[in-house]
Amino acid sequence: MKNYHPPERDLWQGRSSGNGQYLHECVGLLELERSTIQEKGFVILGYACDEGVRRNQGRTGAIEGPDAIKRELARLPSPPHLGSSLWDAGNIGCVDQDLEAAQHALAEKVKDILNMGSFPLLLGGGHDIAFGHFTGLCAHLQSNESIGIINLDAHFDLRSCANGANSGTPFYQIARELQKQDRKFQYLCMGIREEANAKMLFDTARELGVSYVPNSDFHLGNTNALQKELDNFFEQTDKVYLTIDLDGFSSAYSPGVSAASPFGFSPDIVLWTMKQVINSGKLLSLDLAECNPRFDRDGQTAKLAAGLMHYVLRHNELF
């Protein structure tokens, strides 16, 4: 498949313990079109594509995001009990600015990973990763299983796709697809910045029945209310897809994105939310979007993303 790039060993380097104490020493390379895994586990797949960002008039560079995160992850210690349950399956790329083909290719691979009984960990790339990712999740699920989306983001990404898809349209596209299939659109956004979403986006959110938590309420001082919001969401859905847009973090933590958020959220509330989502027992898949190394400082954003990944890797119960 022309969009698929097999994994590269060169990305996985670091200190040597000699006995698998670092992630680069225990990751397996999984060429999705040639082999299957011997042991199910976490399967990392990059979405090396910033065509959606370009179309959305953003700053390109997220094409380099997945490899930058993998390089940082390689150097981190292996969580206890991970064993040989971590695989790098390479990247999906975009050819000739054909964003739709990249999303389609991503969906195919997500379905394959889930059908192997593994847990997909996807790395972007523009937030258009979400449309491909979600399409793959739906292809794996039974038609009677429901899936809800939790997006930690400064933005709704509910822009109209009347003039084509981009990094600001994925959840609107998902809503339309679900509508066609007569399925419910269950979408909770946490971290929405009032100053980063025009009125039309709040209007679309209301029309589509989207729940959201403004950024001013998304902090550790408000966990009682946030817990209620999450529990209510979990009650209404069989499975959860968690997507984390790195531009939702304050640019103090996450400068390497297209649309930086000086007033964004902090890592502690994201880890708290991830814990609740994992504890729900409903998490099916996760992605991190919008890592843009061209605007990063000291690899801070890629390191933040690798730290979030590491948090997930400590939860073997996910597969």
Ligand X SMILES: N=CN[C@@H](CCC(=O)O)C(=O)O
Q: How far is the CB of 41 from Mn ion (least distance, A)?
A: 27
Give the N- to C-terminal CA distance of the chain in Å, as an integer: 27
Options 49, 94, 99, 259; binder of ligand X; rule CB under 6 A: 259
Interacting positions 194-213 with ligand X (CB under 6 A): none
Is 133 marked as a binding-site residue? Answer: no
Residue 237 interacting partner from ligand X, Mn ion, none (CB closer than 5 to 8 Å by kind)? none
Q: Is 245 in the site for Mn ion (CB under 5 A)?
A: yes
Least separation, in Å, of the C-beta of 217 and Mn ion?
A: 17
Report 133-172 residues binding Mn ion (CB under 5 A): 153-155, 157
Toward Mn ion, which CB reaches closer, 247 or 287? Answer: 247
Consult the annotation and say whether 155 binds a ligand. yes
Asked whether the beta carbons of 187 and 149 are under 8 A apart, the reply is: yes
> Minimum CB separation from ligand X for residue 98, in Å?
19
Is residue 46 near ligand X by the rule CB under 6 A?
A: no
Question: Does residue 50 belong to the site contacting ligand X (CB under 6 A)?
Answer: no
Least Å distance, CB 311 to ligand X, is 23
Phi, psi (rounded to 5 degrees) for 256: -90, 70
Task: For residue 135, give the nearest of 94, 102, 90, 97 by alpha carbon.
Answer: 102
Contacts of 187 (CB under 8 A, 6+ apart): 148, 149, 151, 171, 174, 175, 208, 210, 211
Contacting residue, 7, 41, 58, 264, with ligand X by CB under 6 A: 58
Reduce the DSSP state of residue 177 to 3 states and report it.
helix
Judge if the upstream peptide bond of residue 125 is cis by omega within 30 degrees of 0.
yes
Question: Rounded distance, CA 66 to CA 256, Å?
Answer: 13
How far is 289 from 248, CA to CA, in rounded Å? Answer: 10
Please state, in angstroms and rounded to a whole number, the distance separating the CA atoms of residues 82 and 280: 21
Which of ligand X, Mn ion, none binds 56 (CB below 5-8 Å, type-dependent)? ligand X
User: Was 127 annotated as part of a binding site?
Assistant: yes
Beta carbon nearer to ligand X, 160 or 222: 160
Residue of 140, 150, 146 lying closest to 272 (CA atoms): 150
Contact call for residue 159 and ligand X (CB under 6 A): yes
- The binding site for Mn(2+) comprises 127, 153, 155, 157, 245, 247
Residues at the contact surface with ligand X, assessed by CB under 6 A: 56, 58, 127, 155, 157, 159, 167-168, 258-259
